[in-house]
Chain A
């Protein structure tokens, strides 16, 4: 384990690797100077400062390390995890979310929880933060594209939400809907996917303790490009199953129609569990490249069934995972 533990979370040995934030701050400084110098408007300056706060200095968000759910892999450098992202609402290139997600306003933010539940509710961020004790979990993240990272997330099991809203016996699936606001998200104008981005889980998958409702990473609140202010993290599934910037959670009777499955059903199934034996039509899923670690001189590393999270295997007992990919 390369991260130091402390009573309220971890202390990160990465301070030298956080340069992109300096770049960010530099850019925000520039905007601020522009606002002050060229225009001199107090309102603009205030806006620029608020922006600087939003992206430059990220508030701390500590969680108690949960060793049972923490991988021993070396965490991916913060810089890589925050500058190499798939978040199509901000563009299809992996560098674009870090460039453009600054326009996302994460305050105020509410998540509506509705559908087949006894107690539908709308939760703001404060309520979400207080809903259950925050934990830190170091999860492997396997992208369907064949690369992987290791990220210390901060959040709690999604089952805590379920306890609060009390799904009825009709609730067979959970649907997660992301924000789709063209004004804040330049990529939403594109026709790559049907917006809003929609993901889903079977109810027993959602109830599995590994399914993490996530509010932070690396001991800080989520950066916008990583799905701020609230997202799911499902480490045994390909990354795209973990919806970002969630505004609505619906408990439903039927299997939800999920964005990537609608877009290319032969490539992205509803389950999309990490499975080295089921190829993507255009590439093998048997191996992966760990970002920041595996380079030119290494063969790709083997991908593990369920990304190494064998705990979830009973959820799929008796299912043909080649058919339900």
Chain B
């Protein structure tokens, strides 16, 4: 029995001492220095991220206008949103369409341009990089006005070009083409993506291509078996980021609305959050901060589901190791 006790006590003692060790490390001098440095961030995380998330989840279950106190309404915001709010179904359709086109097309465009520039015989790399990056540094208000002006129904250069080739002018803002103007605007910002791809391409060892060439692989095969796997982490990164950004699109739609876009085409999930929270014209019986919070959580849910799927799928096509 004594032996048994001893035998049992030992691992327990070891576990305690392990825990004690961890505790000592957590409260030790080194850690305390770390805490001191990290404290502002932890505070910021609590004040500006964690607690607001809790509040936002709570608000989404209330009817809440600023200045008044929130009243509990259960899930009726979500219920109204999904079943009765026509703006919501338009917004989901518009945001999802926009994301589904702009993100993959943006990735393809930036990868293509990066491939072209990743050629030692192409001169002026710095110049091209800066030029393609440039549209994204311009203020969105200014650049969207400039971009929209290109597509102005009566006097825009695109209309002039159409007239020049004998085609009928298209009113880009009151027809379904409005989506394409917004998507094209997003593509205009392909520069940063291209630069990341360039760095990714430069990270692929040349040896791989040389070996493939010796083995008789053509350009297409090299591209498919070396280049694509090589930049797959970058594609993954851009997809994840692009998705979060695109699902929250606000500015472009908001500015282009001034170009008399009909609401069914200009309402996005982002603009729906804004117009319910601050627009003053709450929709139907809902509206206000509570309703807007519910829309925000729907955006979050969509992003979360797609991102989770993306992370899960990554194991099949994203290659992190480099041989």
Query: Is A bound to B?
Result: no
Interface residues of A (CB under 8 A from B): none
Interface residues of B (CB under 8 A from A): none
